[in-house]
Amino acid sequence: MYEGAVQDLIDELGRLPGVGPKGAQRIAFHLLQADPQDVERLSDVLLAVKEKVRYCERCFNVAESQLCRVCADQRRDQSAICVVEEPKDVVAIERTREFRGTYHVLGGAISPIDGIGPGDLRFTELMTRLASGEVTEVIIATDPNLEGEATAAYLSRFLKGMDLKVTRLASGLPVGGDLEYADEVTLGRAFEGRTLVHV
Amino acid sequence: MPTYRDEAIVLRTQKLGESDRIITLLTRRLGKVRAVGRGVRKTKSKFGARLEPAMVIDVQCYEGRSLDTVTQTESIDPLGDRLARGIETWTAASVMLETCDRLTEEREPALQQFLLLRGALTSLAGAVHDPNLVLDAYLLRAMAIAGYAPSFHDCAKCGAPGPHLAFNVVGGGSVCPLCRPPGSAAPARETLGLLSALLTGDWVIADASDPRHRREGAGLVAAFLQWHLERGLRSLRMVER
């Protein structure tokens, strides 16, 4: 145990995800030895992120104004919505430069074992957006795990009957791997989602 | 490091660090074990898909001080993949997995619980019966294996031959007029018949039951389960009755 401020800092850092007691101690001593300007910059950034950052009123991505960068961009295709679990998924899809539509961040996935049901996610807000009639395609891009699959199944049932094209991101074999190492579930999905080369 | 290999059902997963997961497994021989799946959240993971809830796998781990580490897995039955395709089956499966997690202790062999869970998940994935009936049948039998078998016929307190009209969760099931504590429920006779059928596996009676009695029975099962587990199940609240 250290005294006063050092121990307080270690305790606070230790509460961060993925930071254990040893890691917290290492970061605390790094900050102790760092230039005061560097530490000040870090503390300013931490305060600014809490003060400025909020959720986009339309898609619930992180934003610094009422709308996020994607929703505020008039050049984006407003007729396609890509539904993702978390704001970090938006960044991952944006990196591909393949999608020019808008997003909708659900805020997680259906996980009964963690007490998260459909009522805890932003399905109602999605329905409100779809009610405008401007959207013609919904792309479900939940995580390729079973919670993401259950969320996608719920969402597709939710959207059934609406005059919409509903698609799900393909899942299958990773680029750069050997087929023999693929597990049965992934390989099965790859077969389900195989594409037509020619008839 | 000693290693072991066993057949297992994945009960739950929790994120750990950047790309790892803590996997809670119910194994056939060793009972419940917790192991780290290194890098399983990466898309290129060789066994990430097999270490998802409700998957039945052949797993090899090496023992650690607090947590074991998964080194190899082979899929035996990818039940989770089929169950996650419907919200009703996924919710019911989640309740089963959470109940099993709560009823078993780490490193204490629980073969009966293992076999029951595997059978219940298989039945759920097979979609032969109503998912809620399969869930209630599982919950009643899992409690019976754990030593909390409710009585649906004879008096749970004095053993007086039934059938009796009152049902008391704290008292252990059906109670006779003399033993009946205040506040006991008075379910329909058919409801008690349905619960008894679910406990014994009489699916002819269970499948023919009325939705009204199914709902009433589910309420009694939930109350009975939560009383004995002492703490509510998070997933049980998500089940639509």
Whether residue B74 sits in one domain with residue B136:
no
Domain residue ranges of chain A, discontinuous segments joined by +: 4-52, 55-168
* Cα-trace Rg, chain B: 19
Average pLDDT over residues A154-182: 86
Of the pLDDT bands very low, low, confident and very high (cuts 50, 70, 90), residue B61 is very high
**What single letter denotes the amino acid at residue A2?**
Y
Q: How far is A182 from chain B (nearest CA, A)?
A: 6
Of the pLDDT bands very low, low, confident and very high (cuts 50, 70, 90), residue B19 is confident
Confidence (pLDDT) at B1: 63
Of the pLDDT bands very low, low, confident and very high (cuts 50, 70, 90), residue B98 is very high
Residue A22 has pLDDT above 80, yes or no: yes
Q: What is the value of ipTM here, to two decimals?
A: 0.82
| One-character DSSP codes across B43-88 | TT-SSGGGGSTT-EEEEEEE--SSSEEEEEEEEEE-HHHHHTTSHH
Of the pLDDT bands very low, low, confident and very high (cuts 50, 70, 90), residue A187 is confident
B96 in any annotated domain: no
Residue finishing a domain among B46, B66, B81: B81
Does B80 contact A176 at a Cβ distance shorter than 8 Å?
Answer: no
Residue A192 has pLDDT above 90, yes or no: no
A150 reaches B (C-beta below 8 A) = yes
Percent of chain B with pLDDT over 70: 100
Name every chain A residue with its beta carbon within 8 A of the beta carbon of B75: 183-185
Contact predicate A116/A108, CB 8 Å: yes
Nearest chain A alpha carbon to B16: A18
Does B46 contact A181 at a Cβ distance shorter than 8 Å?
Answer: yes
Does A185 contact B18 at a Cβ distance shorter than 8 Å?
Answer: no
B88 in any annotated domain: no
Report which of A114, A99, A190, A188 is spatially closest to residue A151, judged by C-alpha positions: A114
Average pLDDT over residues B29-58: 90
B39 in any annotated domain: yes
Whether residue B154 sits in one domain with residue B59:
no
Contact predicate B16/B42, CB 8 Å: no
- For residue B162, report the phi and psi dihedrals to the nearest 5 degrees: -95, -160
Beta pairing class for B166-168 and A54-55: unpaired
Average pLDDT over residues A60-75: 94
- CATH number of B63's domain: 2.40.50.140
Q: How far is A77 from chain B (nearest CA, A)?
A: 28
A174: nearest CB among B44, B86, B238: B44
Whether residue B133 sits in one domain with residue B221:
yes
Class of the domain covering A55-168: alpha beta
Confidence (pLDDT) at B106: 93
Name every chain A residue with its beta carbon within 8 A of the beta carbon of B47: 183
Q: How far is B161 from chain A (nearest CA, A)?
A: 39
Name every chain B residue with its beta carbon within 8 A of the beta carbon of A178: none
Percent of chain A with pLDDT over 70: 100
Q: How far is A73 from chain B (nearest CA, A)?
A: 31
Q: Tokens 């049901």 correspond to what residue?
A: A117
Whether residue B229 sits in one domain with residue B135:
yes
B115 in any annotated domain: no
Alpha carbon of A104 to those of A54, A91, B205: distances in Å? 15, 13, 46
Tens-digit pLDDT profile for residues B134-152: 999 999 999 999 999 999 8
Average pLDDT over residues B85-100: 95
Alpha carbon of B64 to those of B9, B12, B70: distances in Å? 20, 19, 10
Q: Tokens 């989602």 correspond to what residue?
A: A193
Domain range for B208? 129-238
Name every chain B residue with its beta carbon within 8 A of the beta carbon of A150: 84-85, 87, 90
| One-character DSSP codes across A101-152 | EEEEE-SS--BGGGTB-GGGSTHHHHHHHHTTS---EEEE---SSHHHHHHH
Average pLDDT, chain B: 92
Beta bridge partner(s), residue A80: A137
Residue B239 has pLDDT above 70, yes or no: yes
B144 in any annotated domain: yes
Looking at the 3D structure of chain B, how many domains does it have?
2
A18: nearest CB among B18, B80, B235: B18
Does A18 contact B17 at a Cβ distance shorter than 8 Å?
Answer: yes
A183: nearest CB among B46, B235, B237: B46
Q: How far is A13 from chain B (nearest CA, A)?
A: 15
Name every chain B residue with its beta carbon within 8 A of the beta carbon of A157: 87
CB < 8 Å & 24+ apart, contacts of B38-41:
B38/B69, B38/B70, B40/B70, B41/B15
A115: nearest CB among B53, B234, B239: B234
The answer to whether domain A4-52 has CATH 1.10.510.10 is no
A177: nearest CB among B44, B53, B237: B44
Whether residue B229 sits in one domain with residue B138:
yes
Establish, for the pair of chains A and B, how many residue pairs have beta carbons separated by less than 8 Å: 80
Q: How far is B49 from chain A (nearest CA, A)?
A: 6
B60 in any annotated domain: yes
**What single letter denotes the amino acid at residue A161?**
G
Q: How far is A139 from chain B (nearest CA, A)?
A: 17
Nearest chain A alpha carbon to B98: A113
DSSP state, A174? P
Residue A74 has pLDDT above 70, yes or no: yes
B220 in any annotated domain: yes
How far apart, in whole angstroms, are the C-alpha atoms of residue A107 and residue A52?
19
* Exposure b/e, B51-87, CB count within 10 A at least 16 = b: bbbbbbbebebeeeeeebbbbebebbbbbbbbbbebb
B45 in any annotated domain: yes
